[in-house]
């Protein structure tokens, strides 16, 4: 989106979305500022009519009427401007946040992994706030003093052009000096903003890791660490305030001297009968007004420049171009039987360090494939490529014969049901979380999905059954319960291709048995690609692919692979049957396999056999 590239374009974009509202707003603000000058001028005419030698009664009442009418008009226009401004910023704030979240969801997963979710959320809300603040400053604090200045100059020129020139120059000098000084103080505001950002980040981190804090009895330690950050923030804030107050004091002094000087001069001219009483009144009130306005103007300009820097910084983060967007001519994926093909796929998060090497796999529709291998072999990366969370640097992935880069990401993900290793749940009810897969599913369908996934019983035992709130990220549920809800959600989606990324990793043996039936129902008549550390999950699958360092080292039906003496799959199987748990067994095995990664595949196989010779012999 080009308007995310610069703060000006950003502002302009959201003004253009509602041109009439903002035009009306501009007219109302200008109208109320002009009326306020009219009020001053009507007052001058009124006083002149009252104090003039002829004292025409009718003229006095006419000017009084005009004065009162202008006072009412000014307030009415001001109120209308405030209401329109409120409306414009509120509705634009909704648009901005929706657009930003829409744009954010188009970023690749690493973008989110590299950012704190809390801070991104704050930035999205912050953008709406900044838009409102800038529009408010420009229309309520920059435009009125400028119009007042122009109006005052017109009145002063009609009274005394010399004085108009002097006051005009003074106004410009005072404003420029204040802006220059204010910008120097920018460094204090910047320092405060940075410290405030750090405190915010620390708080999010602390609360997000509250379990660790409690488990390590680190409550006092963390409080004193936080106190350090808060103290730094407080001193930066104090320096900023002190600076602003110094500026205000300086301005008040200049204001007193200038207004006093102007009045003395005006009264001198009035004594010499060069100007009227009304002129003296209008000169003094307008001088006071524009010099006061110069401070508001300077403050508003400084503030706006700071808001612009914050806007630029936020757009630099949120508005980075999306690296993985749909192709221009992308069509919807035409879902067929669910054939998945990876053809010569080479992929690395860092292209110079591939995690998958020239990998080819054809998975016919309806086949159930288990992907096994040591930790870091690239199993999850393979599933991510099928979901197109990344594009491979070489080769391609196709579903039902269509290259997934040529179909819309939405249609691709519609066609896949995924149960990840760590099931993410919204801070919503269980019902809403399961129904997320199919928003129009009836309650009955949700219950059925939950029963199939083996989670109906425990859900009904929750305090509010299906209406129970699962807590942020599902913290009110156990890991196994979350995973079963994840399976129910995938079941409800009813997609042709099912991806399981260690879907049973968080289940104990008892729960696993409960879920096994659910999983079997989920995968029935579907293409299944399952990453599994717990090999029992895939024992009944049609095929097992063993990945080591991003390469396929074995591929075949599990029974056949199990018969291969010294084969990698057999080694892994033996280790689990022998009772070695995942942390001591598979990971260690994985590490050992990984060290052999640079050897040829054949050599690797031989080394694997040797490495686990002892274990094999015991079988
Ligand atoms: N987002 C990422 N950015 C950079 N490197 C990554 C990222 N995700 C994974 N990797 C690296 O890619 C390699 C393969 O990781 P992957 O998660 O695919 O392995 P895996 O076989 O699924 O491992 P595990 O069984 O431990 O889950 C690892 O070296 C890992 O460190």
Tens-place pLDDT, residues 386-428: 999 888 999 999 999 999 999 998 899 888 998 887 888 888 8
pLDDT tens digits along 561-573 = 888 887 888 888 7
618 has a pLDDT exceeding 50: no
Range from 14-28, 101-115, 167-181, 572-586 carrying the lowest mean pLDDT: 572-586
74 has a pLDDT exceeding 90: yes
Instruction: Give the range with max mean pLDDT: 49-58, 180-189, 233-242, 609-618.
Output: 233-242
Q: Is 199 domain-assigned? A: yes
Mutate to test the pocket of ligand 1, among 357, 372, 381 (most ligand atoms within 8 A of CB): 381
The sign of the CA dihedral 494, 495, 498, 500 is negative
Proportion of the chain above pLDDT 70, given as a percent:
88
Distance CA 57, CA 47 (A): 12
Q: If you write DSSP's letter for every residue of 440-483 in order, what string do you get? A: T--HHHHHHHHHHTT-HHHHHHSTTGGG-B--GGGTTS-HHHHH
Q: Is the CB of 455 under 6 A from ligand 1?
A: no
Mutate to test the pocket of ligand 1, among 110, 380, 392 (most ligand atoms within 8 A of CB): 380
Residue keyed to tokens 């209308």: 80
- The number of angstroms, rounded, from the C-alpha of 349 to the middle of its chain's C-alpha atoms is 23
Q: Is 568 domain-assigned? A: no
Tokens of 455: 């989670």
Q: b or e along 98-107 (b: 16 or more beta carbons within 10 Å of the residue's beta carbon)?
A: ebbeebbeeb
In the reported structure, the alpha carbon of residue 500 is separated from the centroid of ligand 1 by a whole-number distance in angstroms of 16
Over residues 470-474, the mean pLDDT reads 71
pLDDT given for residue 515 in this prediction: 67
Over residues 3-17, the mean pLDDT reads 87
> 104 and 4 in contact (C-beta within 8 Å)?
no
Mutate to test the pocket of ligand 1, among 111, 379, 551 (most ligand atoms within 8 A of CB): 379
Nearest-atom number in ligand 1 for the CA of 382 is 18
Q: Is the CB of 381 under 6 A from ligand 1?
A: yes
Q: Is the CB of 384 under 6 A from ligand 1?
A: no
Q: Is 456 domain-assigned? A: no
pLDDT given for residue 602 in this prediction: 46
Domain that holds residue 146: 2-318
Q: Is the CB of 505 under 6 A from ligand 1?
A: no
Contacts 24+ apart (CB under 8 A), 601-606: 601/551, 601/553, 604/548, 604/549, 604/553, 605/553, 605/568
In DSSP terms, 507 is beta-bridged to: none
Q: Is the CB of 551 under 6 A from ligand 1?
A: no
361 burial type by CB count under 10 A (0-12 exposed, 13-18 middle, 19+ buried): buried
In the reported structure, the alpha carbon of residue 81 is separated from the centroid of ligand 1 by a whole-number distance in angstroms of 56
The residue among 10 and 574 whose pLDDT is bigger is 10
Nearest Cα residue to atom 11 of ligand 1? 376
Nearest-atom number in ligand 1 for the CA of 113 is 1
Q: Is the CB of 110 under 6 A from ligand 1?
A: yes
Over residues 48-52, the mean pLDDT reads 82
Nearest Cα residue to atom 9 of ligand 1? 381
pLDDT given for residue 506 in this prediction: 58
Q: Is 41 domain-assigned? A: yes
Q: Is 516 helix (H, G, I), strand (E, B) or coil?
A: helix
Q: Could you tell me the strand order of the sheet in which 402-403 lies? A: 356-363, 340-347, 394-399, 402-403
28 has a pLDDT exceeding 70: yes
In the reported structure, the alpha carbon of residue 376 is separated from the centroid of ligand 1 by a whole-number distance in angstroms of 5
Nearest Cα residue to atom 7 of ligand 1? 349
pLDDT tens digits along 157-205 = 888 888 788 888 887 888 788 778 777 777 887 788 788 878 888 888 8
Parallel, antiparallel or unpaired: strands 356-363 and 416-419: unpaired
Mutate to test the pocket of ligand 1, among 355, 530, 568 (most ligand atoms within 8 A of CB): 355
Q: Is the CB of 375 under 6 A from ligand 1?
A: yes
pLDDT tens digits along 332-373 = 888 888 899 999 999 998 888 999 999 999 999 999 999 998
Q: Is 110 domain-assigned? A: yes
pTM to 2 decimal places: 0.68
128 has a pLDDT exceeding 60: yes
Name the nearest CA neighbour of 88 among 27, 8, 31, 9: 27
Q: Is the CB of 377 under 6 A from ligand 1?
A: yes
In the reported structure, the alpha carbon of residue 120 is separated from the centroid of ligand 1 by a whole-number distance in angstroms of 24
pLDDT given for residue 484 in this prediction: 85
pLDDT given for residue 584 in this prediction: 40
34 has a pLDDT exceeding 80: yes
Q: Is the CB of 477 under 6 A from ligand 1?
A: no
In the reported structure, the alpha carbon of residue 420 is separated from the centroid of ligand 1 by a whole-number distance in angstroms of 14
469 has a pLDDT exceeding 80: yes
Range from 54-63, 275-284, 306-315, 564-573 carrying the lowest mean pLDDT: 54-63
- Domain of 94, CATH number, reads 1.20.1560.10
Q: Is 295 domain-assigned? A: yes
Q: Is the CB of 523 under 6 A from ligand 1?
A: no
| Domains in the chain, number | 1
609 has a pLDDT exceeding 70: no
Nearest-atom number in ligand 1 for the CA of 110 is 1
Using pLDDT thresholds of 50, 70 and 90, give the confidence band for residue 587.
very low
In the reported structure, the alpha carbon of residue 72 is separated from the centroid of ligand 1 by a whole-number distance in angstroms of 69
Q: Is the CB of 376 under 6 A from ligand 1?
A: yes
In the reported structure, the alpha carbon of residue 385 is separated from the centroid of ligand 1 by a whole-number distance in angstroms of 12
Q: Is the CB of 420 under 6 A from ligand 1?
A: no
Q: Is 397 domain-assigned? A: no
Q: Is the CB of 356 under 6 A from ligand 1?
A: no
597 has a pLDDT exceeding 60: no
pLDDT tens digits along 262-303 = 889 888 888 988 888 888 888 888 888 887 787 788 778 777
pLDDT given for residue 578 in this prediction: 56
Mutate to test the pocket of ligand 1, among 111, 349, 371 (most ligand atoms within 8 A of CB): 349
Q: Is 533 domain-assigned? A: no
Using pLDDT thresholds of 50, 70 and 90, give the confidence band for residue 7.
confident
**ipTM for the complex shown:** 0.96
Proportion of the chain above pLDDT 90, given as a percent:
29
Return the CA Rg of the chain: 36
The mean predicted confidence, pLDDT, of the chain is 83
Instruction: Give the range with max mean pLDDT: 56-60, 182-186, 255-259, 579-583.
Output: 255-259
Tokens of 34: 């002009």
Q: Say what angle helices 57-104 and 19-51 make with each other, to 10 degrees.
A: 160
pLDDT given for residue 313 in this prediction: 81
pLDDT given for residue 514 in this prediction: 66
Q: Is the CB of 597 under 6 A from ligand 1?
A: no
């Amino acid at each position: 989106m080009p308007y995310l590239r610069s703060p000006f374009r950003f502002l302009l974009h959201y003004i253009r979305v509602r041109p009439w509202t903002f035009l009306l707003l501009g007219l109302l603000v200008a109208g109320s500022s002009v009326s306020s000058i009219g009020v001053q001028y009507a007052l001058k005419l009124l006083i002149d009519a009252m104090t003039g030698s002829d004292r025409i009664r009718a003229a006095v009442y006419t000017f009084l009427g005009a004065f009162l009418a202008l006072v009412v008009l000014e307030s009415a226009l001001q109120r209308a401007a405030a209401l329109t401004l409120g409306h414009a910023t509120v509705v634009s704030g909704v648009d901005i946040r929706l657009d930003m979240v829409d744009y954010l969801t188009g970023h690749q997963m690493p973008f989110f992994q590299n950012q704190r979710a809390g801070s991104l959320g704050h930035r999205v809300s912050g953008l709406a706030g900044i838009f409102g603040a800038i529009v408010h400053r420009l229309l309520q604090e920059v435009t009125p003093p400028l119009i007042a200045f122009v109006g005052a100059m017109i009145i002063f020129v009609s009274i005394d052009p010399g004085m108009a020139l002097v006051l005009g120059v003074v106004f410009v000098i005072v404003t420029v000096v204040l802006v220059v000084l204010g910008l120097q103080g920018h460094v204090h505001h910047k320092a405060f903003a940075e410290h405030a950002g750090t405190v915010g980040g620390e708080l999010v981190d602390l609360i997000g890791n509250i379990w660790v804090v409690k488990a390590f009895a680190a409550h006092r330690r963390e409080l004193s660490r936080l106190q350090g950050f808060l103290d730094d923030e407080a001193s930066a804030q104090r320096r900023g305030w002190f600076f602003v107050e110094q500026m205000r004091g300086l301005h008040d002094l200049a204001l007193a001297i200038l207004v006093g000087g102007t009045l003395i001069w005006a009264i001198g001219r009035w004594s010499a009968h060069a100007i009227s009483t009304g002129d003296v009144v209008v000169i003094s009130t307008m001088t006071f007004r524009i010099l006061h306005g110069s401070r508001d103007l300077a403050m508003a300009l400084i503030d706006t420049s700071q808001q612009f820097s914050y806007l630029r910084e936020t757009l630099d983060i949120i508005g980075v171009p999306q690296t993985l967007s749909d192709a221009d001519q992308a069509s919807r994926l035409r879902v067929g039987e669910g054939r998945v093909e990876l053809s010569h796929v080479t992929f690395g998060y860092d292209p110079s360090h591939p995690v998958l090497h020239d990998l080819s796999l054809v998975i016919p529709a309806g086949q159930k494939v288990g992907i096994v291998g040591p930790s870091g072999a690239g199993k999850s990366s393979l599933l991510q490529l099928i979901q197109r969370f990344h594009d491979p640097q070489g080769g391609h992935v196709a579903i039902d014969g269509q290259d997934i880069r040529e179909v819309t990401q939405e249609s691709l993900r519609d066609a896949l049901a995924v149960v990840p290793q760590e099931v993410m749940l919204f801070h919503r009810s269980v019902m809403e979380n399961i129904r997320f897969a199919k928003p129009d599913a009836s309650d009955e369908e949700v219950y059925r999905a939950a029963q199939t996934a083996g989670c109906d019983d425990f859900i009904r035992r929750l305090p509010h059954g299906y209406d129970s709130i699962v807590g942020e990220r599902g913290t009110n549920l156990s890991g196994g319960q979350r995973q079963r809800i994840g399976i129910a959600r995938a079941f409800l989606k009813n997609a042709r291709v099912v991806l399981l990324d260690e879907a049973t990793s968080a289940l104990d043996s008892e729960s696993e048995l409960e879920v096994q039936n659910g999983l079997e129902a989920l995968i029935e008549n579907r293409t299944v690609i399952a990453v599994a550390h717990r090999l029992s999950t895939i024992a009944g699958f049609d095929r097992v692919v063993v990945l080591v360092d991003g390469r396929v080292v074995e591929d075949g039906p599990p029974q056949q692979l199990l018969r291969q003496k010294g084969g990698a799959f057999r080694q892994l199987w033996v280790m689990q049957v022998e009772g070695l748990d995942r942390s001591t067994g598979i990971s260690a095995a994985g590490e050992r396999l990984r060290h052999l990664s640079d050897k040829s595949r054949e050599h690797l196989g031989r080394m694997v056999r040797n490495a686990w010779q002892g274990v094999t012999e015991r079988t």
